[in-house]
Amino acid sequence: MSELPGDLEYTNDHEWLRKEEDGSVTIGITDHAQTSLGDLVYVELPELDVDVEVGGEMAVVESVKAASDVYAPVSGNVVAVNEALSDDPEKINADPYGDGWIVRLQPTADGDGETMTPDEYQALLDELES
Amino acid sequence: MPFIPHTEDDVQAMLKAIGADSIDDLFDEIPAELRISELAGVPEALSEMEIVRLMRSRSLRDRLPLCFIGAGAYEHHIPAAVWDIATRGEYYSAYTPYQAEASQGTLQTIYEYQTMITSLTGMYASNASLYDGASALAEASLMAVRGNRASNSKRILLAAGVNATYQSVAEAITGNQGLHFDRLPLDISKGTTDRAGVDAGDEAPVALVIQQPSFFGTLEDIDALTDWAHAQGALVIAIVNPTSLAVLKAPGDWGETGADIVCGEGQPLGVPLSSGGPYFGFMACTQKLVRQMPGRIVGRTTDLNGQPGFTLTLQAREQHIRRSKATSNICTNQGLMVTAATIYLSLLGHAGLKQVALASNNKTARLLELLTAIDGVEQTFSGSFFHEVVVTLDRPIAPVLEALAAVDILGGLDLSVAFPELGNALLVCATETKSDADLQRYASSLADILK
C-alpha cells in the first residue's frame, strides 16, 4: 500500500501537486504511478518559460516497459524543471514526492484543473486494486 | 499453391463474428476516389509458369546499356561475395524477426551496420535503416520538428542542391502534419546555395536540409551553412552519399557543432540499381535526439550469464509501445539490403571505400575533360564536384539522350525538366565501373550526335 503525503493534491492521471508559498505549483507522479511504470530510464522535460494548457502534454516519463505522458494538471507557465532527472531518472522511483519532482508551473488561469484530496485519491487507488 | 490458408467457410465465419457482410466492407472507410481498381501494367493473377515467362520478357528490356545516370542511384561494382552471403538461408529474409532476440546473428549484423553508419557519418547513433533516401528525409523532417522543441515552426528550409524528388516525397508524407518546405536560391554560376540570398524569412525555420554532394554533384559550403542554421535556432539535417563520406568531411564535423540528423540513400553500398529498388535509407543522429529517431535500433548488452548479446533497444519510441504517439509508423527496416551493405562495407574496408570514391571522382573528372573538348559542350558550374557534374549543351537535351540511347548509352539526367532555369543542362555521372574506353565511347558518340 503506497503512502500518500497529506499536504498534496492528486489527479486522475496519478500526478501530485504541491502549492508553493510563491503561488507556483510543483508537480510529480505518484508512488502508484512510478510502481506501475517500473524502473524509469528517461524523462523528457519541457523547455523553461513555455505555456502549457490544463490537460496538455508536459513531459514524458519512460521506463523499461512503457512511455507515459505527464499532463499539465493546471494551465501555467513552466518556471522550473528538475534537471537532475536527465542524468538520474530513477530519482522518481526512489523518492516520487521529493527529489523526484518533475516540473514547477506558475498557474496562469485561476482554479482550472480538477484535483483530489489524499482521501479521494486513496479511494481511487482502492477501486483500481479491487 | 494457395498462399492464403483461409477457406471460404473460415472467411464467412470470421466476417460473421465481427458483423461484416464482406471483406470489401472492411475497406469502406477509405474514400472511393483513393482506391485503385486495377494497376496499369500489372495483369490479373497468373500461374507460376506464366509469371516467369512474363518477367523474363520484361527483363530483356534491360539491355545492359552503358549507364552515365546518377542523380540519386549509383552503379558501383558489387563484389560477388556480397550477394552470395546475403542470400544464404540464414540471412534471406526481408524482416527483423518478430522475436528479434531469438536471432542473435541478424541483430549483430544490424548492430555492425549501425556502427559502420555512425563511423561514416560521425554521429552518435544510427537506426536499423528506413525504406529509402527520400522517405528518410521525410522522417528526418518530422524528427526535427519533434526534437527542436525551442522552435514552434514547422517550416523546413532546403539548400538549393537538395534532390527535387526528395522534396516532393517529403511534402507528400508530411504535408498533412503541417510541415512545409522552402528552397534557398541557387547560385547559377557555382551550382551551390547562393549564400548572399540566404534569408531565414519571416518564419524562423525549424531545420535546414543540406545535401552534400548536392544533387548537381557540387560541394556546398557546409560549415558556413551549418553554423548559419544553428544561429537561427534551426537543426541541421544532412543528406549525404555514403560513398562520398570516405573522402568528404563527416556531417558530425560540419561547422562548430556538426549536423544534428544525417540521412540518405544507402543503395551505393552494395545494392544493385535493379530498375529503382528495393533500396534502403539510412539515418543517424546526435545523442540528444536519439529518442526522437524513428525505426528500430539494435543495442549490445550483457545477458544473465555475463555473455555479450544483442537486443532491440529504446523501443518506447515505437508504435507497439507508444501507439499513436510513437516517433513514426516505421516499425521495420530494409533488413536484406542492410545485410548486403554491411557485407559490402566489411569487404571494402575504409581503404577500399576510399578507393571507390577517389576512382569515381577521377573518372568523372576525365569524362568532363572529354565532353567539354566537344564543340557545343561546356561545364555549367565552376568549382569542385564529387562523382557527378553538370554540362550545358548547345541544344535541347531530350533528343540527344534519345540518340545516345539508340547506341546503348544512357547519357545522363536531363535537368531542364526539374530546373528549367539551368537551360540545356545535363547531369552526368561516372563511377569506378567505367573504363577509359567507356568514357571515350560516350564522348565520341556525343560528338557524332552534336556534329
Which residue in chain B is spatially nearest to A44 when comparing CA positions? B291
CA distances from B283 to B8, B66, B134, B155, B320 (A): 44, 31, 11, 21, 21
Output phi, psi for B38, to 5 deg: -145, 155
Distance from CA of B258 to the nearest CA of A (A): 22
Q: Judge: A67–B149 Cβ closer than 8 Å, yes or no.
A: no
CA–CA distance, B372 with B378 (Å, rounded to integer): 5
What confidence tens digit (pLDDT) does each residue in A29-42 have?
999 999 999 999 99
pLDDT at A77 over 90: yes
Cα–Cα nearest to A45, from A9, A80, A11? A80
A/B interface, count of CB pairs below 8 Å? 18
Quick one: B268 and B386 in the same domain? no
Quick one: B325 and B192 in the same domain? yes
pLDDT of residue B59: 84
Quick one: B328 and B412 in the same domain? no
Classify domain A12-108 by CATH architecture.
Beta Barrel (2.40)
Torsion from C-alpha of B6, B10, B14, B15, nearest 10 degrees: 90
Residue numbers of A between 1 and 40 with CB closer than 8 Å to B = none
Q: Judge: A42–B325 Cβ closer than 8 Å, yes or no.
A: no
Contact B135, B281 (CB under 8 A): yes
Domain end call among B300, B315, B342: B342
Grid cell, residue B436, equals 577509359
What confidence tens digit (pLDDT) does each residue in B114-158 have?
999 999 999 999 999 999 999 999 999 999 999 998 888 999 999
E strand map for B61-189: 66-67, 125-126, 155-158, 180-183, 186-187
Distance from CA of B335 to the nearest CA of A (A): 25
| Residue B99 CB burial class (10 angstroms; 0-12, 13-18, ≥19) | exposed
Quick one: B337 and B354 in the same domain? no
Q: Judge: B149–A63 Cβ closer than 8 Å, yes or no.
A: no
With beta carbons under 8 A apart, name residues in chain B contacting A58.
Answer: none
Residue indicated by cell numbers 571522382: B361
The H or E element spanning position B120 is helix B104-121
| B22 within domain boundaries | no
Quick one: B354 and B334 in the same domain? no
Cα–Cα nearest to B298, from B309, B312, B316, B284? B312
Confidence category of residue B212, pLDDT binned at 50, 70, 90: very high
Quick one: B362 and B327 in the same domain? no
What confidence tens digit (pLDDT) does each residue in B227-252 have?
999 999 999 999 999 999 999 999 99
Quick one: B311 and B354 in the same domain? no
E strand map for B286-395: 298-302, 308-312, 377-379, 388-393
With beta carbons under 8 A apart, name residues in chain B contacting A51.
Answer: none
Residue type, B359: A
CA–CA distance, B115 with B284 (Å, rounded to integer): 10
How far is C-alpha B340 from the geometric centre of its chain's CA atoms? 15
Mean pLDDT for B187-212 is 88
What are the residues whose beta carbons fall under 8 Å from the beta carbon of A37, sequence distance 6 or more?
Answer: A29, A61, A63, A65, A66, A68
Output phi, psi for B410, to 5 deg: -90, 105
pLDDT at A130 over 80: no
Is B317 an 8 Å CB contact of chain A?
A: yes
A73 preceded by a cis bond (ω within 30 of 0): no
Output phi, psi for A65, to 5 deg: -120, -5
Residue type, B404: L
| B409 within domain boundaries | yes
pLDDT at B335 over 90: no
pLDDT of residue B94: 55
E strand map for chain A: 9-10, 15-19, 25-29, 40-44, 51-52, 57-63, 67-71, 76-81, 103-107
Grid cell, residue B43, equals 495483369
Cα–Cα nearest to B179, from B130, B136, B146? B146
CA–CA distance, B417 with A26 (Å, rounded to integer): 59
Q: Judge: A69–B325 Cβ closer than 8 Å, yes or no.
A: yes
Contact A25, A74 (CB under 8 A): yes
Is A87 an 8 Å CB contact of chain B?
A: no
Grid cell, residue B234, equals 534551426
| B281 within domain boundaries | yes
Is B150 an 8 Å CB contact of chain A?
A: yes
- Among the partner-chain residues A47, A65, A67, the one whose CB lies closest to the CB of B149 is A47
More confident residue, B115 or B24: B115
Distance from CA of A80 to the nearest CA of B (A): 15
Contact B387, B430 (CB under 8 A): yes
Residue indicated by cell numbers 576525365: B366
CATH number at residue B138: 3.40.640.10
| B216 within domain boundaries | yes
Q: Return the bridge partners of A106, or none.
A: A77
What confidence tens digit (pLDDT) does each residue in B61-105 have?
777 789 999 999 999 999 999 999 999 988 886 566 667 787 898
- Among the partner-chain residues A46, A47, A66, the one whose CB lies closest to the CB of B316 is A66
Between vectors from CA A54 to CA A56 and to CA B321, what angle results, nearest 5°? Answer: 30
The total number of structural domains that make up chain B: 2
Q: Return the bridge partners of B367, or none.
A: none
Is B321 an 8 Å CB contact of chain A?
A: yes
Q: Judge: A62–B150 Cβ closer than 8 Å, yes or no.
A: no
Contact A65, A57 (CB under 8 A): no
With beta carbons under 8 A apart, name residues in chain A contacting B148.
Answer: none
What confidence tens digit (pLDDT) does each residue in B272-305 have?
998 888 999 999 999 999 999 999 999 999 999 9
Distance from CA of A96 to the nearest CA of B (A): 21
| B187 within domain boundaries | yes
Quick one: B253 and B300 in the same domain? yes
Distance from CA of B320 to the nearest CA of A (A): 10
Contact B366, B116 (CB under 8 A): no
pTM value is 0.88
How far is C-alpha A78 from the geometric centre of its chain's CA atoms? 13
| B277 within domain boundaries | yes
Q: Which of A48, A50, A52, A62 to mutate to test the interface with B (most CBs of B within 10 A)?
A: A62
pLDDT of residue B99: 76
Quick one: B102 and B123 in the same domain? yes
Is A63 an 8 Å CB contact of chain B?
A: yes
Output phi, psi for B155, to 5 deg: -95, 125
Domain end call among B342, B365, B388: B342
With beta carbons under 8 A apart, name residues in chain A contacting B150.
Answer: 47
| B308 within domain boundaries | yes
Residue type, B353: L
Quick one: B244 and B182 in the same domain? yes
What confidence tens digit (pLDDT) does each residue in B68-77 have?
999 999 999 9
Q: Which of B301, B322, B324, B327 to mutate to test the interface with A (most CBs of A within 10 A)?
A: B322
CATH number at residue B414: 3.90.1150.10
Q: Which of B287, B311, B314 to mutate to test the interface with A (most CBs of A within 10 A)?
A: B314
Q: Judge: A66–B321 Cβ closer than 8 Å, yes or no.
A: yes
Quick one: B136 and B108 in the same domain? yes
pLDDT at B1 over 60: no
Distance from CA of B82 to the nearest CA of A (A): 37
Quick one: B167 and B226 in the same domain? yes
Confidence category of residue B330, pLDDT binned at 50, 70, 90: confident
pLDDT at B200 over 70: no
What are the residues whose beta carbons fall under 8 Å from the beta carbon of B238, sequence distance 6 or more?
Answer: B121, B209, B210, B211, B212, B222, B251, B254, B259, B261, B262, B263, B264
Domain end call among B308, B342, B376: B342
The domain in which residue B86 lies consists of 80-342
What confidence tens digit (pLDDT) does each residue in B362-379 have?
999 999 999 999 999 999
Is A69 an 8 Å CB contact of chain B?
A: yes
